[in-house]
Chain A
Amino acid sequence: MKALLKRGFNLLDSLFSRAFTPAWNPLYQLGALSFFYFWIVAVTGVYLFIFFETSISGAYSSIEQITHGQWYIGGVMRSFHRYASAAMGICVTLHVLREFAMDRYSGPRWFSWVSGIPLLWLLFASAIGGYWLVWDQQAQYIAILTAEWFDALPIMVDPMASLFLNESTLSDRFFSLLVFLHIGIPLALLLGMFIHIKRVTAPRSNPARGLAAGTLLAMLAVSLWRPALSQAPANLDMAVTEVGLDWVFLNPYPLINSWGPGNTWVLLVGLSTVLCLLPWMPSRRPKRTPVAVVDPDNCNGCGWCLADCPYEAVSMKEHDFKKGHKQSVVDPDLCVSCGICAGACPSSSPFRHVDELTTGISIPELHIKELLARTEASLAKLSTDQPRIMLYGCDHGSVVPDIQSSTVAAISMPCAALVPPAFVDYVLRQDLAEGVLISGCCEGDCFHRLGNTWVDQRFSMERMPVLRTRVPRERVRLRWLGAQGTRALQREVVEFQRELAEAPALIDLEDVSSG
């Protein structure tokens, strides 16, 4: 099921990236979009609250007045409020499914996964509370069933459902309580959302501006075309017969009625528990690889690995034996052995005057020394019939070993950001290859969150360690095509080789610059 889901997302990723560009791809920013929709709901909610009357007769009539009396602003606000909350519900659901499909919920990511489960409950509670306030037929339906659902809990002494026996048993104070809950629960949700991203380095809580603008425009269009409307007013003296439901949030309600409140509790609490335990399920637990190791002799305390670690697994402490210096420390509980730290370390340079290459921080699975040895060994085997290419790829992106040939050497690693920019310089300067191509996960959707972003920034000299200016840029390519882009990458390699064949030799370029 998971593989199928992943395949589905990969297909959709390609489709959306083509239409939106990777930077605007909504599937890469489902969490950020959820935040965005939350803010829309919050802002429009404040406006609606100004005109809302907290009484039995006033609740429905005041919302009708907002919807029809000031359709041009109040009606649009109400529609935004409803459609943004539904959009948030769908984005959150897709976010959960995507993180599950892409295996981004275990290891150090357990915290974000587990802290997200209560947020689902808070999101549903916020939305359901909002529907009560309208006090129409739908509100009557969910009010009675929610009360009966809670009455099934053994902690309830007086049945809450007794509040909704008939028109005479309901009081205005009930609506004051509802408003309080409808403000309090979303605030708790917001707090939970901040906790959810607390352990994430550089969390993305704002979508790309273009995507945000497009979403707003689309929502405005549907709000004007099909404004959110109330159903017939609630009347507790008559039972609800047929009712229109918001199936995004109210889908458990028919279950409460047909299955019984107790069974529905068991189902939903059971499902939430299973979701919470998912990161520790034996079959889903990822293979634990040895974590990054710091070599104090070669760590100068620059902090670049600290800045680049996407999991906040690196911190700094006093140097073991250099007084007044800092030294990196790795938290083994948070490290996922992606190797991004090794790519960030200034000591990971093959140009260093040392007998054997070593570095300040590296992962045992692929030490920087081994990466260099493999690079040199695989390039040495290449034929010179065509321009030689060094292709570095990541284990989660395009399958680079499939592209290996007599003129293309390929090395796959946990994350493309493991390749220090100095390696590219070294390969070209030592004339080991005519071109270097680095590939990995789709832009904006790195398995290790920020790997391809850091590589982009290092190579465009926006982030340390930079790719030196002397490296001819036309001999270096970065391609983020993802797991589904192996064929496209193959075409890129062929194209790159063709261009390199036509380009002047490196030695000529150096002659020109020195001359």
Chain B
Amino acid sequence: MASARRYLAQAVLYALFFLPIVYITHQPLHRHLPEEMAELKIAVRHAGKVIGECTDVVAADYRALPGAAVRPQICPRERSPLQLELVLDGDILYRDTVPASGLHDDGVSSIYRRFTIPAGTHRLLLRMNDDVAVAGYPWELEAEVALQPAQVLVASFKDGFRLE
């Protein structure tokens, strides 16, 4: 009788251990994105223009170079940072300058941002400068977008902005 009571108590304690596990492994639900909201993602991976010009190698420089490294021009490696601006319905939502990657700033610049915005129709302006020698924004995209609730709109860049 005593052992039956003990096993019953064990069953209760096992239940008290596992039932909360069953519950908390999927409940309570977590609201990640409020209702009537959508997401806008910007993902740009682009190499800025090289800063500076290539210069011709003069005869004196040839002598300083090892035989296998002889070339007609010496070119700088550093690339321009990317200046990106996102304007939504006339308000600046994001503006940043992202340097080139690499120890010598000679790699690509990468930008990723996720924004939560209300669903509905918006006027979107994306512009980017990838050359410090040029003023303003050589790359620009302006569009009117209609977003459904929970829709994900991705703005990426490849020879120009594009929306997906």
Q: Contact at B14–A86, with CB atoms within 8 Å? A: no
User: Is A470 located at the chain interface by the 8 A CB criterion?
Assistant: no
A16 — which chain B residues lie within 8 A by C-beta?
13
CB pair B25–A248 under 8 Å, yes or no, is: yes
- Chain A residues whose C-beta falls within 8 Å of the C-beta of B164 in the assembled complex: 165-166, 168
Q: Which residues of B contact A243 (CB under 8 A)?
A: 29-30, 32
Contact with A along B48-81 (1 / 0, CB 8 A): 0000000000000000000000000000000000
Contacts of A225 in B (CB 8 A): 22
B110 touches A159 (CB 8 A): yes
B150→A238 contact, CB < 8 A: yes
Inter-subunit contact A257/B32 (CB<8 Å): yes
Contact pattern, A 56-91, Cβ under 8 Å of B = 1, otherwise 0: 000000000000000000000000001100110010
Best-buried of B30, B101, B151 by chain A (most CB within 10 Å): B30
Interface window among B35-43, B127-135, B138-146: B35-43
Whole-angstrom CA separation of A448 from B92 in the bound complex? 64
Q: With A and B bound together, what is the CA distance between A217 and B11 in angstroms?
A: 10
Query: If the complex has contacts A214-B10, A244-B29, A246-B24, are A238 and B15 also in contact, measured as CB distance less than 8 A?
Result: no
Docked pose: A247 CA to B156 CA in angstroms: 34
Q: Which of A18, A226, A241 is close to B22, meaning CB atoms less than 8 Å apart?
A: A226
Report yes or no: A86 in contact with B21, Cβ–Cβ below 8 A.
yes
- Would you call B41 and A165 a contact (CB within 8 A)? yes
Answer whether residue B104 sits at the interface, using C-beta atoms and an 8 A cutoff: no
The answer to whether A87 touches B17 (Cβ under 8 A) is yes
Residues of chain B with a CB closer than 8 A to A161's CB: 43, 112, 114
Residues on A with beta carbons closer than 8 Å to the beta carbon of B43: 159, 161-162, 165
A-chain residues with CB within 8 Å of residue B10 when the two chains form the complex: 19-20, 214
A162 near B45 (CB under 8 angstroms)?
yes
Do A19 and B6 touch across chains, with their CB atoms under 8 A apart? yes
CB distance from A113 to the nearest CB of B (A): 25
A159-B30 contact, Cβ under 8 Å, with A166-B152, A247-B25: no
Which of A90, A168, A217 is in CB contact (< 8 Å) with B21?
A: A90
State in angstroms the CA–CA spacing of A158 and B150 once bound together.
26
Collect the chain B residues with CB atoms within 8 Å of residue A500's CB: none
> Is A228 an interface position by the 8 A CB rule?
yes
In the complex the two chains form, what is the Cα distance from A168 to B152 in whole Å? Answer: 13
B18 to chain A, nearest CB (A): 5
Query: Does B158 make an interface contact (CB < 8 A)?
Result: no
Residue of B nearest to A90 (CB): B21
CB neighbours of B33 from chain A (8 A): 239-241
Which one of B25, B112, B149 contacts A246 once the chains associate, using CB atoms below 8 Å? B25
Q: In chain B, what residue has the closest Cβ to A79? A: B22
**Residue count of chain B within 8 Å CB distance of chain A:** 42
Given A19-B9, A238-B151 in contact, is the A254-B25 Cβ separation under 8 Å?
no
A18 to B17, CA, bound (A): 17
Majority-rule SS of A interface residues: helix
What residues of A have a CB within 8 angstroms of the CB of B25 in the complex?
Answer: 82-83, 86, 228, 246-248
Instruction: Check: B154 CB closer than 8 A to any chain A CB.
Output: yes
- Given known pairs A19-B13, A218-B17, the reply for A239 and B38 (CB within 8 Å) is yes
* Distance in Å: Cβ of A251 to nearest Cβ of chain B: 9
Task: Provide the main secondary structure of the chain B interface.
Answer: mixed
Bound-state Cα–Cα, A110 to B94, Å? 48
In the assembled complex, the Cα of A222 lies from the Cα of B16 at a distance in Å of 12
A166–B33 CA distance with the chains assembled, in angstroms: 17
Task: Name the interface residues of A218-260: CB closer than 8 Å to any CB of B.
Answer: 218-219, 221-222, 225-226, 228-229, 231, 236-248, 253-254, 257
Chain B residues with Cβ below 8 Å from A218 are 11, 14-15, 17-18
Which A residue sits closest to B8, measured CB to CB? A19
Which chain A residues (128-147) contact chain B, with CB distance < 8 Å?
A: 141, 144
Interface of chain B residues 72 through 129 with chain A (CB within 8 A)? 101, 107-108, 110-112, 114
A505 within 8 A of B: no
Chain A nearest CB: distance from B30 CB in Å? 5
Residue from A161, A218, A248 with most neighbouring chain B CB atoms (10 Å): A218
* Contact in complex: B30, A245 (CB < 8 Å): yes
CB of A148 within 8 Å of the partner chain: yes
Annotate A149-189 by CB proximity to B: 1 below 8 A, 0 otherwise.
00100000111011001101000000000000000000000
Bound: A87/B17 CA distance, A: 8
Cβ–Cβ < 8 Å partners of A215 in chain B: 14
Which of B15, B43, B156 has the most CB atoms of chain A within a 10 A radius of its CB? B43
Q: Which residues of A contact B19 (CB under 8 A)?
A: 222
A225 to B23: give the CA distance in the assembly, Å.
Answer: 12
A157 touches B110 (CB 8 A): yes
What distance in Å separates the Cβ of A122 from its nearest Cβ neighbour in chain B?
20
Kindly list chain A residues whose C-beta atoms are within 8 Å of the C-beta of B22: 83, 222, 225-226
Q: List 30 A-B contacts (CB under 8 A).
A: A19-B10, A19-B12, A83-B21, A86-B24, A90-B21, A148-B112, A157-B101, A157-B110, A158-B45, A158-B110, A159-B111, A161-B43, A162-B43, A162-B110, A162-B112, A165-B154, A166-B164, A215-B14, A218-B17, A222-B18, A222-B21, A231-B26, A236-B152, A239-B150, A239-B151, A241-B149, A247-B24, A248-B24, A248-B25, A253-B30
The 4 closest A-B pairs by CB, nearest first: A159-B112, A19-B9, A218-B14, A244-B26
19 extra interface residue pairs, beta carbon distance < 8 Å, beyond A159-B112, A244-B30, A248-B24: A18-B9, A19-B9, A19-B12, A20-B10, A148-B112, A159-B43, A162-B45, A165-B164, A168-B164, A215-B14, A218-B14, A219-B18, A222-B18, A228-B25, A236-B152, A241-B149, A243-B29, A245-B29, A248-B25
